[in-house]
Amino acid sequence: MHRTATRLADGRELVYFDQAPGAVRDVRDERPLEPAASLSEIRLDPVLGEWVTVAAHRQQRTYHPPAGECPLCPSRDGRLSEIPAADYEVAVFENRFPSLAPGSAEHVAARDAPLHTLRPGNGRCEVVCFTSDHDASFADLDEAKARLVLDAWTDRTAELSALPGVRQVYCFENRGEEIGVTLAHPHGQIYAFPFVPSRTTRMIARAEAHRARTGRNLFEDLLSAEQDSPERLVLRGEHWVAFVPFAARWPYEVHLYPKRRVADLTALTEPERAEFPGLYLDLLRRFDALFPAAPGAAPNRTPYISAWHQAPRTGGGQLALHLELFTVRRAPGKLKYLAGVESGMDAFVTDVSPEQAASRLREAALG
């Protein structure tokens, strides 16, 4: 993997990732951009003890542009985009409309009232462009390109984790308008949080309680139990296991774990990295095969969220790196909406049993 770091016209960092060691990335960003001010702040919910990010400046972000005006496509034919190069393999850059940004303290003052705790939204948000092909999807990549994305995620995890004030790094992809995606180009995002999000906090608490009760690691026990339950297994390689969780929240949800417990992407070995692309692409293509397109229609692309859960910088020694992949589609033409019981009480009700979901994913045609 060859890495080239440069700067955009407004000072934001851009990093190219290439397979060839001698790739040259020296095209400058010629746009007349002024540095954007981040007004991000984080507020502590006094009832739940959870941080909420307020980023009102994001109302002005790019929203469903025409394909010819996509900001994630390469700069070609006189049209300048966020990527100055005329082509690229994988590119990562700081989001121009970030939820969290390192300069937030310049515009937001901290407050320490008993019920009104507020901090600047210091952190970092990056955009990961998986390919220069606007009409492709992650599932269309070959294994070499998917490995390059894994290398980019790993590189950014290492760099962002080292930034002052960053507590946890979160790599994820949203695909499909049904998920809320506003840019159609195949891409994901990375958040470097200045706090540990509540979901991770809950996982840590459960893992520590399990350790105190049994003397063992929760995630190692979970992985062992799921491998002993073939009705929910989807894929199993030499180094990775994919299964539908026993208490899945979403109609079709798969968790992908390395068999060896590690804290984050930087701790994976070369054999583990080498096996991941094939298994992950297989999973994505199985998701697309769940809901076949009608004869003569465009190929189906199932909307999904793909999320890497990594241990925070401190206090997460019991956590295990894993990827959670799920879709909001429950049947052809039908979506799983978060209704009052889910949105209001965080009490999920699923329409598909985990065992049925695993069976369908195992049988899904790969085309």
Residues in contact with 294: Cβ distance below 8 Å, sequence separation at least 6, in sequence order: none
Helix, strand or coil, per DSSP, at residue 250? coil
* Amino acid at the residue 19: Q
Within 13 Å and on the Cβ side, how many CA atoms surround 111?
11
How many angstroms separate the CA atoms of 80 and 96, rounded? 15
Choose, from 185, 187, 239, 322, the residue flagged as catalytic.
187
How many angstroms separate the CA atoms of 92 and 276, rounded? 21
Number of H helices, E strands in the chain: 6, 17
Name the helix (H) or strand (E) containing 161.
helix 143-161
How many angstroms separate the CA atoms of 132 and 142, rounded? 14
Helix, strand or coil, per DSSP, at residue 19? coil
Whether 309 is catalytic is no
Whether the Cβ atoms of residue 310 and residue 265 lie closer than 8 Å to each other: yes
Residues in contact with 182: Cβ distance below 8 Å, sequence separation at least 6, in sequence order: 61, 62, 63, 64
Give the β-pairing of 111-113 and 124-129.
unpaired
DSSP string for residues in 141-159:
S-HHHHHHHHHHHHHHHHH
How many angstroms separate the CA atoms of 145 and 130, rounded? 8
Residues in contact with 337: Cβ distance below 8 Å, sequence separation at least 6, in sequence order: 328
How many angstroms separate the CA atoms of 106 and 31, rounded? 25
Tokens of 232: 């929910």
Which active-site residues does the annotation give? 187
